[in-house]
């Protein structure tokens, strides 16, 4: 499954390693795209896109290898 997310930085830092929260999240499968922001904890401070990918795999019962993640 493919996910696209819009991050919201927690600190005013420009480093890629700065933690972020999900501003918006979309899932797409078979050509249909749906906003699913309400299905994840948007207050959690993700340390990386990789951590978000693992969280999405766990949340939706998918293998990590099947989760594709892009920034919006």
As a three-state string, the secondary structure of 16-59 is CCCCEEEEEEEEEECCEEEECHHHCCCCCCECCHHHHHHHHHHH
What confidence score (pLDDT) does residue 72 get? 87
User: Which residues partner with 1 through β-bridges?
Assistant: none
What confidence score (pLDDT) does residue 29 get? 85
Q: Which domain holds residue 60?
A: 2-10+19-71
What confidence score (pLDDT) does residue 23 get? 95
Cα 70 to Cα 55: distance, rounded to the nearest angstrom: 14
- Kindly give the confidence (pLDDT) of every residue in the chain, 72 residues in length, as a single tens digit, with 9 standing for 90 and above: 999 999 998 765 555 567 899 999 999 988 899 999 999 998 999 999 999 999 999 999 999 999 999 998
As for how many domains the chain has, the answer is 1
Beta carbons of 1 and 29 less than 8 angstroms apart: yes
Instruction: Tell whether pTM > 0.85.
Output: no
């Amino acid at each position: 499954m493919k996910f696209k997310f819009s991050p919201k930085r927690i600190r005013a830092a420009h480093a890629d390693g700065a933690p972020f929260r999900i501003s918006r999240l979309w899932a797409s499968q078979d050509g249909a795209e749906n906003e699913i922001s309400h299905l994840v904890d948007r207050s959690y401070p993700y340390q990386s896109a990789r951590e978000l990918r693992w969280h999405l795999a766990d949340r939706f019962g998918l293998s990590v290898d099947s989760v594709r993640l892009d920034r919006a």
